[in-house]
A = this chain, B = another copy of it.
Amino acid sequence: MKPNKIVVIGGSAAGAKAAAKARRLDEFAEITLIQKAPDLSMASCGYPYYVGGVFNDRNLLLCTPTGVTRNPVFFDKAKAIKALVETEVLAIDRKEKQVVCRDLKTGSEQIIQYDKLVISTGAKPNMPPIPGIRLDGITTLLTMADTDYLRRICDEKKIKQAVVIGGGLIGVETCEALQLSGVKVTVVEALDQVLTFLDWDLAKLVENHMRSKGAQVLTSKGVKEFIGKGGKLAGVKLADDTVIDCELAVMAIGVRPNSSIAIAAGLETGKFGGIAVNQYMQTSDPDIYAAGDCVEIPSRISGEPVFAPMGDLANLEGRVAGENAAKGNSATFPGTFHTGICKIFDFSAGSTGLSIKAAERMGLTDYQTVVNASPDKPGFMGAKLLVSKMLVSTTDQRLLGYQCVGTGDVSKQIATAAMAILGKLTVEDLVNADLPYAPPFSLAIDHFIASAHIMQNKLKGRMTGISATAVWEKIQRGEHPYFLDGRSPDEYEEMHLGIGEHLIPLGALRSRLTELPADENAEIICFCKISLRGYEAETILRAYGYTNVQVMEGGIMAWPYPRKK
């Protein structure tokens, strides 16, 4: 039997994984990995941490856990894979089943035959034609070359100010990296929030944290021009004509599929420009698979194809593409629940499934949400804050989405929620979930379960919630609900909103009911630090006949606006 000739274009996450998986399934396949960059199998999600000095050994981005660099020699010896680096694929000839590629060092071209081809050409940065965008001092953070450039800048310590254009995952990670290196960073985001996988209110908590670390965050600000001085970047002019002086700008306004070679070969693409693939990661040509940031995959929420350039998905897709290229279509890839997470200084922010924003975009209305703020573990174990938003269907009470931000253990919250969504779990399932508990790890009732409890209270009509945003809008409209802050005077003295609230500690509420509005239909909004006491206040007031009582969800800890104190 003639060996199966497998060619993989692209040797970062998806491509390297596909090649390795194919090898494990077919020792005698002829596998060639063609990579335009000089490096292979780079840990590209780690770039910001090398730039920021979290570690200093560049090779750690390129080596196996035991320290062996994943270079062509490694691929040859350990995997029997022929890896061609600094080699660009010029064209795919589907009729002849061959690729034409050029060695970028020598310029020589060669033709490589394939039986099965895997395309994993990744993504390329969005670089809009803003005047001055070619100035020296403007970069992205997507390649090892970018990484080396930014790391050198951080090490040299000559640059004082930088602007990061875009507040997505890479934008906020780059902000952290530069700020930790002593560069003063301004993040400029055209939308009204950073991290669009979060709803606005949770994103604002992230922005507030970034500011507390010294970064400037500007939202709803477009960039009009990059200002140069002698060919070098000197400032960024915003749409409102204000100028931010800076010597460095990092473009991080997202990426798009690098699918041009696939398009040139006549393969089908989707509405985001990504290569269209079926559940086998197979393109419109049955002999060609594609995986990673160059493809579109199904959203497991909407069922529609989406562009989801995430490192974990690229690896999983590559594994499927590699298996099917080696063995015929046997493995399937079902798509994404839009799970994401990032670290921003001492904060983490993650999301899985639907946000309110995404639900609105889909035109959904049959859902309920709840915001929960609470510590991740007991105070005596060094509790840290979690603020989360849970979204469930009111039709069948299934969990549809969960977001979480804070200094606490966000990662576990999102993993828990991602599994719950995958398992089609309902609120009833979640309220009595059996999660691991010991004080070093969580509260006796984990934050996630507590969120489900609050959701259940809302769904059963035991609690009427109102979001901080809705409260703020009431205030902006000149409305004057009766605000009841149920904390102690000491707590109030330390921190308070200053929205005209009345301080009645929960423990005194039953004996001070006469201080409340005489009208039983008056609008009363209760809260406390996290709104547990706020909820208890609501139950008391309802029992005493008040008909229009709400709890401001998440209390002061989830309040994204300025506080008086």
- Bound-state Cα–Cα, A28 to B539, Å: 11
Verify if A342 is at the interface (C-beta below 8 Å from B): yes
Question: Closest CB-CB distance, A176 to chain B, in whole Å?
Answer: 10
B54 lies within 8 A of A312 (CB)? no
The residues of B that contact A13 with a CB separation of less than 8 Å are 444
With A437-B311, A437-B341 known as contacts, the answer to whether A444 contacts B45 (CB < 8 A) is yes
Which residue of B is nearest A28, CB measured?
A: B543
Question: Are B433 and A27 in contact (CB-based, < 8 A)?
Answer: no
B contact residues around A319 at 8 Å (CB): 453
Contact yes or no, A65 B375, CB < 8 A:
yes
Contacting pair B415 A380 (CB below 8 A) = no
Given contacts A46-B439, A300-B434, A423-B419, contact A316 B445 (CB under 8 A): yes
A562 to B340, alpha carbons, bound, how many Å?
41
Q: How far is the CB of A508 from chain B (nearest CB, A)?
A: 7
> A43 within 8 Å of B by Cβ?
yes
Stretch from A73-81, A82-90, A255-263, A464-472 forming part of the interface with B: A73-81
User: A425: CB under 8 A from chain B?
Assistant: yes
For residue A49, which residues in chain B have a CB less than 8 angstroms away from its CB? 380-381, 439-440
| Nearest opposing residue in chain B for A448, CB measure | B415
Q: Among residues 401 to 449 in chain A, which have CB atoms less than 8 Å away from a CB atom of chain B?
A: 409, 411-412, 414-416, 418-420, 422-425, 429, 431-442, 444-446, 448-449
Which residues on B sit within 8 Å (CB–CB) of A282? none
User: For residues 485 through 503 of chain A, which have their beta carbon under 8 Å from a beta carbon of chain B?
Assistant: 487-488, 491
Report chain B residues within 8 Å CB of A333. Answer: 432
Chain B residues contacting A544 (CB-CB under 8 Å) are 27
In the bound assembly, the distance between CA atoms of A55 and B378 in angstroms comes to 11
Q: Complex: how many Å from CA A425 to CA B55?
A: 38
Interface footprint category on A = 35 or more
List which A38-96 residues lie within 8 A (CB) of chain B. 43, 45-46, 49-50, 54-55, 57, 60-61, 63, 65-66, 68, 74, 77-80
With A and B bound together, what is the CA distance between A334 and B13 in angstroms?
Answer: 42
Does A309 sit within 8 A of B, measured CB to CB?
A: no
A151 is an interface residue with CB less than 8 A from chain B: no
Query: Closest residue of chain B to A506, judged by CB?
Result: B78
Task: Pick the most buried of A49, A60, A422, A529: most chain B CB atoms within 10 A of its CB.
Answer: A422
Q: Known interface pairs A412-B415, A441-B411. Does A380 touch B61 (Cβ–Cβ under 8 Å)? A: yes
A175 CB contacts on chain B under 8 angstroms:
none
A520 contacts B by Cβ under 8 Å: no
Q: Specify which of B46, B63, B68, B341 is in contact with A436 (CB 8 Å cutoff).
A: B341
CA distance A435 to B315 in the complex (A): 12
> Chain B nearest CB: distance from A455 CB in Å?
14
Ranked 10 nearest A-B pairs via Cβ = A423-B423, A27-B543, A77-B507, A419-B419, A341-B436, A312-B437, A60-B380, A411-B441, A412-B412, A414-B436
Q: List 9 A-B contacts (CB under 8 A).
A: A24-B462, A24-B536, A28-B543, A66-B529, A315-B445, A316-B431, A350-B436, A418-B433, A423-B425
6 further interface pairs, Cβ-Cβ under 8 Å (given A77-B507, A173-B438, A312-B446): A13-B444, A60-B378, A316-B449, A337-B434, A341-B441, A343-B438
